Amino acid sequence: MTQLASLLTDTPYRAYTYAYPHKTAYRTLTPAVPLPDAWASEDKSHLFLYLHIPFCEMRCGFCNLFTTVNPEQSLEQAYLGALERQARVVRGALGSFAVSRVAIGGGTPTYLPAGDLERLLGIVQGVFGADLAHLPSGIETSPATATPERLALLRAAGVQRVSMGVQSFIEAEARAAGRPQRTQEVRQALNHLHAADFPVLNLDLIYGLPGQTPQSWLDSLRETLEHAPEEVFLYPLYVRPLTGLSRTERQWDDERLTLYRIGRDFLRERGYQQISMRLFRRAGVAGPAGAPSYDCQTDGMVGLGCGARSYTRSLHYSSEYAVGQVGVKAILNEYVQRSDAEFAVAAHGMALSEDEQRRRFILQSVLHASGLSAQAYHTRFGSEWVNDHPELLELLTLKLAQQRGDLLTLTDAGFERSDGIGPWLYSDAVQDRTQRYEWR
């Protein structure tokens, strides 16, 4: 375990911990695990259903998601067919279960024509019985694909939340990031979104873009709030292997922390609550009335589609991962040809030891505004986090966290160092696997 104090002298932007372990730590599972066995001892009463659509109209220079650009219609149709077959196989393997929330991501799910979107929603509602109107449910879109026809279909189906990546309202900044888009197209898409009247609108912005200044960042923030989104995500620019921006030489470490603080203060002063380093939610925003609860630290996730992860307590699995287009297309071609028997097993992933499960619980808790609860940790593991991971006390010493009764929560200084604190808590085994991963 590296001393946290030494990490604070390095870049605060080491890695975004949105899931632990990252898919770069996954390997071939030998032997493959039958899905009924993987889920046999799990509580399946509060499952998160995620569907992945790996298609986009363009590949942004910063993007490291599993997606491909403008696929042939034959591949798109074959993919939806495989997704539906996988859904039916997984549905049968789960036995008795209940879905408590749904997300459709990618890629850009609204890249699909309206008819194919309707088919996708049919899988969610018909195969998994998820009533989108009464569950927290969301979908990703883009300025070019947020058309009135698609949005009306989604809203009629009951989708609660729609998220759109704007990144910047300054055309030159978006173009420099490998995302050529006209600001007028973004504004038109926002008009369509408001007309569709989704309960929750989320807009994504990126700071640290080439040519971005504090003033231009504030200009984008101000225009963002003119559209009154219920949620705003502020992402620092990361330059990752095999992305468009990875071919440039410039580094943005010197600018991002200043821009983060500007954005954080701007949103909090205007009534947004900070939920994590990236997520800000307008005060008073609530989910559907009577919606079931979901706890990311304890409840499972079922992922459908190429690139989607699934989580049980002791096993995380997915298809293989790639960023480069050759690797992505090879994995996609393998996916659409899978048999039902191949969909019935987890063949690629990582088994989580008790230690890894504890680390995941801590990471999912402490990097969120809700904090790490000593009681919740004890209920889950029968031990105390202060004994299992006393290094967390260093967060208190460095004033990166504070103890409030049962809770360990990050301070402002801690939140802005989330991308250093997360990797600091990774196990040696996960760090080794991730470092040895061969990017495709």
**Domain containing 273 — which CATH number?**
3.80.30.20
- Give residue 291's pLDDT: 79
Structural domain includes residue 298: no
CB neighbours (10 Å) of residue 41?
9
Q: Are residues 264 and 360 in the same domain?
A: no
Q: Are residues 172 and 265 in the same domain?
A: yes
Last residue of one domain, picked from the residues 247, 266, 282: 282
Give long-range contacts, CB 8 A cutoff, 24+ apart: 2-9: 2/424, 3/394, 4/391, 4/394, 4/395, 4/398, 4/400, 4/420, 4/421, 4/424, 5/394, 5/398, 7/420, 7/424, 8/398, 8/417, 8/420
Structural domain includes residue 60: yes
Q: Which residues contact 393 (CB under 8 A, 6 or more apart)?
A: 386
- Give residue 244's pLDDT: 44
- Give residue 252's pLDDT: 54
Q: Are residues 171 and 56 in the same domain?
A: yes
Q: Are residues 379 and 251 in the same domain?
A: no
Q: How far apart are CA 331 and CA 327, in angstroms?
A: 6
The number of domains in the chain is 2
Q: Are residues 227 and 364 in the same domain?
A: no
Structural domain includes residue 83: yes
- Give residue 61's pLDDT: 63
Q: Are residues 100 and 221 in the same domain?
A: yes
**Beta bridge partner(s), residue 28:** 348
Helix H or strand E segment including 231: strand 231-236
Structural domain includes residue 335: no
Q: Are residues 136 and 273 in the same domain?
A: yes
**CA–CA distance from 155 to each of 88, 148, 164, 245, 328 (Å)?**
25, 10, 15, 35, 31
Q: Are residues 278 and 359 in the same domain?
A: no
Q: 366: domain CATH number?
A: 1.10.10.920
Q: Are residues 235 and 154 in the same domain?
A: yes
Per-residue pLDDT in tens (0 to 9) along the chain, 440 residues = 457 887 777 788 888 888 899 999 999 999 999 999 999 999 999 999 999 999 988 766 667 777 788 888 999 999 999 999 999 999 999 999 999 999 999 989 999 999 999 999 999 999 999 999 999 999 999 999 999 999 999 999 999 999 999 999 999 999 887 787 899 999 999 999 999 999 999 999 999 998 999 999 999 999 999 999 999 999 999 865 444 443 444 455 668 999 999 999 999 999 999 999 999 999 988 877 777 878 888 899 999 999 899 999 999 999 988 877 888 899 999 999 999 999 999 999 999 999 999 999 999 999 999 999 999 999 999 999 999 999 999 999 999 999 999 999 999 999 999 999 999 999 999 999 999 988 77
Q: How far apart are CA 136 and CA 159, in angstroms?
A: 8
Q: Are residues 103 and 229 in the same domain?
A: yes
Helix, strand, or coil here: 158?
Answer: coil
Domain that holds residue 421: 354-433
Q: Are residues 76 and 195 in the same domain?
A: yes
Structural domain includes residue 400: yes
Q: Which residues contact 258 (CB under 8 A, 6 or more apart)?
A: 214
Structural domain includes residue 171: yes
pTM of the model: 0.94
Structural domain includes residue 122: yes
Taking the alpha carbons of 50, 55, 57, 60 in that order, is the dihedral positive or negative? positive
Last residue of one domain, picked from the residues 259, 282, 305: 282
- Give residue 234's pLDDT: 98
Q: How far apart are CA 247 and CA 321, in angstroms?
A: 20
Structural domain includes residue 323: no
Q: Are residues 135 and 39 in the same domain?
A: yes
Burial 296-327 (b: 16+ CB within 10 A, else e): ebebbbbbbbbbbbbbbbebbbbbbbbbeeeb
